[in-house]
Structure 1
Amino acid sequence: MDIAFFTDRRNDLGESPVWDARRGWLWWVDIRLNRILAADALGVVQREWTYSQPVGSIGLAMGGKVLVAAFADHFALIADDGHAQPIVAPDIGEGAIRFNDGKADRQGRFLSGTMQHGGQAEALAGVWRLERGGSATRLETGMKLANSICFSPCGHWLYLSDTLEGVIRRYAYDPETGALGPREAFFDCNTIGAAPDGATVDSEGRLWAALVTRQQIGCISPEGELLRTIDLPVPFPACPAFGGADMATLYVTTIADSGHKLKSDHPDAGRMLAITGLGARGIAEAIYHT
């Protein structure tokens, strides 16, 4: 196994990496700096766009657009020149709440969770799905910081966590209707003193989760057993994604300054990592269909 830095870019709050096989690029966001970025396989930055509000998560898109994005309070499509075309602004709540982690399901719909950061005692966040026709559907409520959104290879399981709760959940997911089954506990990160952030799956159905407070990536079996942890050279890993020509590189965004509790003076904090030699391959992310 080898862990190297990918690009020389140091992000404040790096999140939502997604490999774009159409171009051979890795896209990601810097939420705190309101940016979407992309780099080629050599780590050379190819795109860098700055917006008027945070971008919580992104996914690939088609139909003449490059990306779908969950901005702080709305969904939008992103053109190749960076222009953002708003789609819908669902009622996610007022005050200190914004969109956060997100992924497309295997049918080309885009899910994004919300998070609250104003210290409210009540759990006001949840998960929304951007439908193919452009409407938005609320899927889950009663959360504070929705994270770890990803799908099993077959698409019949949705993984999701509330970072502040510390438990990665799973839900039966109907690929055709998008209906959720009952909430199930999948892996309790509290048992290892960790908090889950972003996550992805590999071709064998194992879940790879950023253990943000432990400076590790955790690999969890489809049955919910912790198989291994990987120590990282910088603090606060935020989100992993498989990519590269053979989908065998695990890219990991990290955090230098979240604007809240997570802040590091490590000289390489916020840099992207590229991990190879894991003996695992990822699955191409689904593309949002308008």
Structure 2
Amino acid sequence: MSITYTRISHKPDLLGESPVWDAQHSCLYWVDSVGCYVRRYIPSTQQFSQWKTPSSIGCVALGPKNSLITGLSDGFYQLNLETGTFHALMQPIPPNPEVRFNDGRIDRYGNFVCGSMGVHAKPVGELYRLNRNGDAERLANGIRISNSIAFSPDGTIFYFADSLDQNIRAYEYGDGQQPLTSARIFAETSILGSAPDGATVDAEGYLWVALVQAGKIARFSPDGVLDRLIKSPVDMPSCLAFGGDDLATLFVTSIKNSGTGRIISRHPDGGFLFSIHGLGVQGIAEPRYQQ
């Protein structure tokens, strides 16, 4: 089967990020970080919806009932999809205007793991885990740009990148209650001409990574070997998610203008949401945050 690319959205995001497939409701959520929107796409009806956020948003994850967990600029919030209201769950103290939250995901145990970044790429970002009981713990600090957060199918390996290091690290994650341990370099993306951006794991345990500076998407085996390298539908792919009824469609968000003037797409479809079919693999249903 040949690979096909389809443009889905009707208007571009400034900074598309964090696609998440909701298998229970057969829809896709993603965010426009700079435009300050959470967006939803329902393939069966071709319907789009959106919710305005009170600040820039780095990521979105599935929450309990009819809600989402979001990483906004200053902390973690729960978005009620019926009312469009945001309820604060965790805000670092003291607040730091030089930091905003970026990439995040629910682990296999129902905890929300999300990292922040230095607004000016200074090493002031931190990585937090919001546990099921609502308590937050700091897992790491000294981060410039948190990205590539993903978990192995069994939940025992945590993937993470400080994008400016141009490599992806793997950590022993255990049962989702312990500190991160046994850090190792999982894959070097510098040799592929790009820092790593968003990532996801397929059902075979392979890690897919958006190579935002190279206009490509890489698939790495569980031992970190490059298995496949495919072109992206645009020059700046930002994040990935498997979805669709059979979890065999790869959704790709992209960048049009990061808002800093440093990252601007030269592709006419920059910022649009795409789907890729024909990859011959399936993803894993995303878990929900458990309270």
TM range (shorter): over 0.9
SS of the residue corresponding to residue 10 of structure 2 reads strand
| Structure 2: distance between partners of 1:176 and 1:230 | 32
Partner of 1:73: 74
Partner of 1:84: 86
Worse overlay, 153-162 or 266-275: 266-275
Q: 1:6, CA displacement in angstroms?
A: 1.6
Q: Look up the equivalent residue of 1:221 and give its one-letter code.
A: S
Q: 1:265, CA displacement in angstroms?
A: 4.1
Q: Look up the equivalent residue of 1:210 and give its one-letter code.
A: A
Partner of 2:275: 274
Kept in 2, the 8 Å contact 1:199–1:209? The answer is: yes
Q: 1:44, CA displacement in angstroms?
A: 2.9
How many equivalent pairs are there? 287
1:95-244 alignment, distance < 5 Å: 95-120=97-122, 123-244=123-244
| Structure 2: distance between partners of 1:195 and 1:238 | 11
Kept in 2, the 8 Å contact 1:7–1:45? The answer is: no
Residues 256-283 of structure 1: CA distance to partner in whole angstroms, max 9, x if unpaired? Answer: 0011221024321101110111011000
| Structure 2: distance between partners of 1:50 and 1:124 | 27
Kept in 1, the 8 Å contact 2:107–2:176? The answer is: no
**Structure 1 residues 266 and 90: CA distance shift in structure 2, 3 A:** same
Kept in 1, the 8 Å contact 2:143–2:162? The answer is: yes
**Structure 1 residues 92 and 253: CA distance shift in structure 2, 3 A:** farther
**Structure 1 residues 43 and 168: CA distance shift in structure 2, 3 A:** farther
Partner of 1:2: 4
Q: 1:43, CA displacement in angstroms?
A: 7.6
Kept in 1, the 8 Å contact 2:23–2:286? The answer is: no
| Structure 1: distance between partners of 2:159 and 2:280 | 22
TM-score (norm 2): 0.95
| Structure 1: distance between partners of 2:255 and 2:121 | 21
Q: 1:33, CA displacement in angstroms?
A: 0.8
Q: Look up the equivalent residue of 2:40 and give its one-letter code.
A: A
Moved runs in structure 1, 4+ residues, more than 6 A?
none
Kept in 2, the 8 Å contact 1:90–1:136? The answer is: no
SS of the residue corresponding to residue 191 of structure 2 reads helix
TM-score (norm 1): 0.95
Residues 95-154 of structure 1: CA distance to partner in whole angstroms, max 9, x if unpaired? Answer: 32100000000000001110112253xx11121111112221111112100100000001
Percentage of pairs with the same residue: 38
| Structure 1: distance between partners of 2:15 and 2:45 | 18
Q: 1:177, CA displacement in angstroms?
A: 1.7
Q: Look up the equivalent residue of 1:111 and give its one-letter code.
A: V
Worse overlay, 40-49 or 200-209: 40-49
| Structure 1: distance between partners of 2:202 and 2:220 | 10
Kept in 2, the 8 Å contact 1:92–1:114? The answer is: no
**Structure 1 residues 119 and 195: CA distance shift in structure 2, 3 A:** closer
| Structure 1: distance between partners of 2:133 and 2:11 | 36
| Structure 2: distance between partners of 1:77 and 1:119 | 27
Alignment of 1:283 with 2:284, yes or no, is yes
SS of the residue corresponding to residue 164 of structure 1 reads helix
Which ranges of structure 2 fall in alignment gaps of 5 or more residues? none
